[in-house]
Structure 1
Amino acid sequence: MPHRPLARALAALVALLTAAVGAVLTVPGSAQAAAVNYVALGDSYSSGVGAGPYDWSTCLRSQKSYAPLWAAAQGVTSFAFPACGGAVTADVINSQVNALSAGTTLVTITIGGNDAGFADVITSCRFGSTSTCTNAVNRARAFATATLPGRLDATYAAIRTRAPDARLIVLGYPRLFELNSCGWLAMSTYKRTILNDAADLLATVTAGRAAAAGATFVDTRPYFAGHGVCGADPWIHDVSGVIEAYHPDADGYRYGYLPALTAVTG
């Protein structure tokens, strides 16, 4: 009998400690905060063109792209991958955003290069004369400053409408070329220089519109420095494949894009 008050006190103390621990483990909102519902939008630099192997769609999606690599490493709650090779901003607005919802917590995107005529500019510079290349680059630069900002604004707004609570991360494009000697079949140093300068302009425009939309811009250029076409250890395809030309290879996505994304997500 004399021990019953002590036993009751110990039982009460255990119950109190259990309740306190339970409260810590079930803080309201903690489960939601831990959930990562990730959607990867964008063009070929998100779908993984250049990395291979590809799925059976016409979008050339590769599991070696940065998006599925990041999703696997982070153990996300859900992952959707509508990014598609060749996509322009209209494709994102009219189709890809359908993968988003109010429950989406993270969105990544590369977009704008195809709007600015990436493929035509590269083709003109790789196979055309210096003047042909210069004219193509100048047209792309004019588009990037006059027309592309509005298209990017509309794209980011469409994403916000479908996924209002998601973090939006906009990844830029790398410079494609190193400027060292690269053999007599390579593009001239002048062509490579103006193409890199155009990539810098595109990065500036994209970063500005991303900031205006409250998004995080990720500059991938530092991560690819020294690994462009004509580098000693290139992570960018040259003209070895028509589809994959001037896109990152698997190393470019793993060691260029993936660390760039991880640097801002933790």
Structure 2
Amino acid sequence: MPATRRPTAIVVGVLATLLLLVGCTDGPRPQTARPDVTARPSPADTAAALPTVGSYVSLGDSFTSGPGLANLQDGAGLCLRSDHNWPSLLADLLQASRFDDVSCAGARTRDIRQPAAGLTGARPQIAAVTGSTDLVTVGIGGNDGGLFSSLIGACTRANDTCASFARDGAPAILARTVRDVEASLDAIKAIAPDATVVLVGYLRIMPETGTCRSIDIPSADAAALVATEEALDRSLSVAARGADVTFVSLRAASRGHDACAGSRAWTNGAAPTGRDGIAFHPRLAGMRAVARAVADAL
């Protein structure tokens, strides 16, 4: 039975999401061809087997930067980078001697290679990468063409715009995303040819089937959201293969940890509580899981 809509929760959740998605945008080893990695969190006892990393650079959007998670990194500004986002946790796991996190809430793939619009003095994220960088992780693509914000907006309105956007709007956006992400990965590799470059996917927001009060979206619209989440994951996989880098998919790892999973949820629904992330974004538990998953892939 479809969930009953709760206007207050929806308004709060969507406003928080849209503000962040559109308001802020703006030794070494050779890289070898590697298959996609279906990530699963690593047991703690694998930490001793992790590679040694000298210089680590993190690029990405709000699913990487961690808005709403305490505490903000020094100098994070409008990018809202948390010191408990998954790159920070990964840097600790890897004991990186140098860590540069330039991920930013609202970033689109274009912000990898050009200054983010609306951020005075902002540099392209790729400017943090140098020839001596050992590891680069990239979490990007969900904001391209307004994909996330348009989809959430469409699916929280009482009409049929959700399914029509997923069917008619998303495919063209994702086709462009593949090209832009692949070009950005190629540009990173050109600057740091000896670095390991890893493209990281997105945690689930929606359950595989059905819906719940946490997300407050009817079942029919929830299915359209799931289809778009899966399409984005496939698109990122294609971009990673085209650029010959590792792709860490989080679809399998986060099964059963969607926003409807209660205490086991790795992402928030429409109305998060406390300082555990913002609406439709990762919780601290999710950030920890992504850090372990990427470490496992390395």
TM-score range, shorter chain: 0.7 to 0.9
Residue 92 (1) aligns with residue 126 (2): no
Residue 52 (1) aligns with residue 70 (2): yes
TM-score (norm 1): 0.81
Please give the alpha-carbon distance, in whole angstroms, between the structure 1 residues aligned to 2:268 and 2:214. Answer: 17
The question of whether the paired residues in 2 share the 8 Å contact of 1:180 and 1:230 is answered with no
* 1:45-96 deviation digits (Å, cap 9, x = unpaired): 1111243332451001011111010111221121100010100111111100
* 1:157-215 deviation digits (Å, cap 9, x = unpaired): 22112212111100011221123452498211121111111111111111111011111
SS, match of residue 208 in structure 1: helix
1:197–1:181 distance in 2 versus 1, CA, 3 Å: closer
Specify every segment of 5 or more residues in structure 2 that has no aligned partner in the other structure, as ranges. Answer: 1-26, 30-51, 115-123
How far apart are residue 39 of structure 1 and its match?
0.2
* 1:206-265 deviation digits (Å, cap 9, x = unpaired): 11110111110001111211111222322211122598211011111112x112101111
Specify every segment of 5 or more residues in structure 1 that has no aligned partner in the other structure, as ranges. Answer: 1-30
Please give the alpha-carbon distance, in whole angstroms, between the structure 1 residues aligned to 2:142 and 2:241. Answer: 18
Of the three residues 246, 250, 254, the one matched with 2:280 is 246
**Runs of 4 or more consecutive aligned structure 1 residues displaced over 3 Å after TM superposition:** 31-35
Letter aligned with residue 59 of structure 1: C
Higher helix share: 1
Q: Give the aligned partner of residue 120 of structure 2.
A: none
Q: Give the aligned partner of residue 4 of structure 1.
A: none
Letter aligned with residue 67 of structure 1: P
Letter aligned with residue 61 of structure 2: D
Please give the alpha-carbon distance, in whole angstroms, between the structure 2 residues aligned to 1:52 and 1:67. Answer: 14
The question of whether the paired residues in 2 share the 8 Å contact of 1:121 and 1:140 is answered with no
Q: Which has the higher contact order (CA 8 A, sep 6+)?
A: 2
What do you get for the CA RMSD once the two structures are aligned? 2.1
Letter aligned with residue 216 of structure 1: T
1:170–1:188 distance in 2 versus 1, CA, 3 Å: same
Percent sequence identity is 29
Please give the alpha-carbon distance, in whole angstroms, between the structure 2 residues aligned to 1:212 and 1:35. Answer: 25
Please give the alpha-carbon distance, in whole angstroms, between the structure 2 residues aligned to 1:240 and 1:220. Answer: 23
How far apart are residue 129 of structure 1 and its match?
2.6
Please give the alpha-carbon distance, in whole angstroms, between the structure 2 residues aligned to 1:212 and 1:226. Answer: 30
1:70–1:241 distance in 2 versus 1, CA, 3 Å: same
Residue 72 (1) aligns with residue 105 (2): no
Q: Give the aligned partner of residue 119 of structure 1.
A: 149
1:237–1:50 distance in 2 versus 1, CA, 3 Å: farther
Please give the alpha-carbon distance, in whole angstroms, between the structure 1 residues aligned to 2:213 and 2:140. Answer: 32
Tell me which moved more, 180-189 or 222-231: 180-189
How far apart are residue 112 of structure 1 and its match?
0.7
Q: Give the aligned partner of residue 261 of structure 1.
A: 294
> How many aligned residue pairs are there?
233
Of the three residues 147, 164, 167, the one matched with 1:135 is 164
1:62–1:183 distance in 2 versus 1, CA, 3 Å: closer
Please give the alpha-carbon distance, in whole angstroms, between the structure 2 residues aligned to 1:185 and 1:234. Answer: 12
Q: Give the aligned partner of residue 153 of structure 1.
A: 182
Matched ranges for 1:1-266 at <5 A: 34-55=52-73, 56-94=76-114, 95-117=124-146, 118-126=148-156, 128-178=157-207, 179-180=209-210, 182-183=212-213, 186-232=216-262, 233-240=264-271, 244-255=278-289, 257-265=290-298
The question of whether the paired residues in 2 share the 8 Å contact of 1:38 and 1:105 is answered with yes
Letter aligned with residue 244 of structure 1: I
Please give the alpha-carbon distance, in whole angstroms, between the structure 2 residues aligned to 1:85 and 1:114. Answer: 10
Letter aligned with residue 167 of structure 2: N
Please give the alpha-carbon distance, in whole angstroms, between the structure 1 residues aligned to 2:98 and 2:67. Answer: 23
